[in-house]
Amino acid sequence: MELGWLVCGTAVLLLLHVLMELSPAVNFALRIGFYCVLCLVSSALAAAACLLVNGGRTVKNMRIIKAVVKTFKYFFGLRFEVKGLENFEVEGPAIIVSNHQSILDMMGLMEILPDNCVQVGKKELMYTGTVGLIIYLGGVIFINRKSTSSAKMVMAEVAKTMANENLKVWVYPEGTRNCTGDLLPFKKGAFHLAVQAQVPVIPVVYSSFTTFYNPKTKLFTSGKIKVEVLPPIETKGLTSDDVTDLTDRCFCTMRETLFRLSGRPSEAKDSS
């Protein structure tokens, strides 16, 4: 009986292996499927740990989430090479902005996430089962992207509470995932927030995933991701009139860094 199960199990694994070798689409679907299952199962376990240790929704839960998610890279053969972590060591609150390529970014995020840091996320993430629960417990700030006025109101509230709670806030200024190897134009919410709270903006750039991950061509192999935390950009004394300039400066610096980290230096020069 037990031998029967063993033979069946081995046969299924072999079949999956052959299918993965033969078809990039199957390989991609299985690896992404595994990532989602891993997120859902780990979130359920981490949620229990968060409730037991911290009792509810608090940024302190991010430490638990981080410890769990940092192990995921080993399942997918991903390596991170991080530079500039010392740039996170600013006095008090800050806004961190980074490029957003895929749902896989959660691994890159947790690889370097500083203490007392929450992210801004779309409200739809609340409805992703246990993942939604863990994101809620971690203190993520939910915004409704379909309503500019309500998103602005939430961001204005955050500007007020950041100082009291000594929070760093992580925003993806592209506003959506983009895996083209370039940046989408930045939305200004993060920069309004930084100016309203008079706190620095710390840009973070992840090298392009396109050499190992591409949903269009169903590519998903192992790979190396270079990460650079750039020096903080001060906003003391800036007003809402300076937000466009601040956004543009940050965009140019991050695009240049993205191309450099991804081995596309010549395009960086053409970008200004």
Ligand X SMILES: CCCCCCCCCCCCCCCCC(=O)SCCNC(=O)CCNC(=O)[C@H](O)C(C)(C)COP(=O)(O)OP(=O)(O)OC[C@H]1O[C@@H](n2cnc3c(N)ncnc32)[C@H](O)[C@@H]1OP(=O)(O)O
Ligand Y SMILES: CCCCCCCC/C=C\CCCCCCCC(=O)OC[C@@H](O)COP(=O)(O)O
Residues that bind ligand Y (CB under 6 A): 36, 39-40, 100, 103, 105-106, 122, 125, 128-129, 131, 176-177
Task: Please give the structure tokens belonging to residue 271.
Answer: 């970008």
Q: What are the start-end ranges of the E strands in 146-212?
A: 168-171, 201-206
Between 43 and 82, how does the x/- string for binding to ligand X read (CB under 6 A)?
x--x------------------x--xx-------------
Pairing of strands 168-171, 141-143: unpaired
Closest contact distance (angstroms) between CB of 205 and ligand X is: 16
- Asked if residue 202 binds ligand X (CB under 6 A), the reply is no
- Asked if residue 39 binds ligand X (CB under 6 A), the reply is yes
Non-local (6+) Cβ contacts of 61 within 8 A are 46, 50, 53, 54, 134, 137, 138, 139
CB-based contact 66:108 (threshold 8 Å): no
What residues between 137 and 176 interact with ligand X by CB under 6 A? 138, 140, 143, 145, 148, 151-152, 155-156, 171-173, 175-176
Pick between residue 20 and residue 133 the one whose CB is nearest to ligand X.
133
- The one of ligand Y, ligand X, none whose footprint includes residue 40, by CB under 5 to 8 A per kind, is ligand Y
Sheet containing strand 94-98, strands side by side: 78-83, 223-229, 201-206, 94-98, 168-171, 117-122, 141-143
Residue 98: phi and psi, rounded to 5, are: -145, 165
Residue 96: closest CA among 236, 255, 228, 240 = 228
Pick between residue 177 and residue 249 the one whose CB is nearest to ligand Y.
177
- The one of ligand X, ligand Y, none whose footprint includes residue 103, by CB under 5 to 8 A per kind, is ligand Y
Query: What is the enclosing helix (H) or strand (E) of 16?
Result: helix 2-22
Closest contact distance (angstroms) between CB of 29 and ligand X is: 19
- The one of ligand X, ligand Y, none whose footprint includes residue 217, by CB under 5 to 8 A per kind, is none
Torsion sign across C-alpha atoms 145, 146, 149, 154: negative
- Asked if residue 183 binds ligand X (CB under 6 A), the reply is no
Closest contact distance (angstroms) between CB of 128 and ligand Y is: 4
Count the residues of the shown chain that bind ligand X, applying the rule CB under 6 A.
37
CB atoms within 10 A of CB 270: 7
- The one of ligand X, ligand Y, none whose footprint includes residue 112, by CB under 5 to 8 A per kind, is none
Pick between residue 150 and residue 222 the one whose CB is nearest to ligand X.
150
- The one of ligand Y, ligand X, none whose footprint includes residue 189, by CB under 5 to 8 A per kind, is ligand X
d(CA 209, CA 224): 9
- Asked if residue 106 binds ligand X (CB under 6 A), the reply is yes
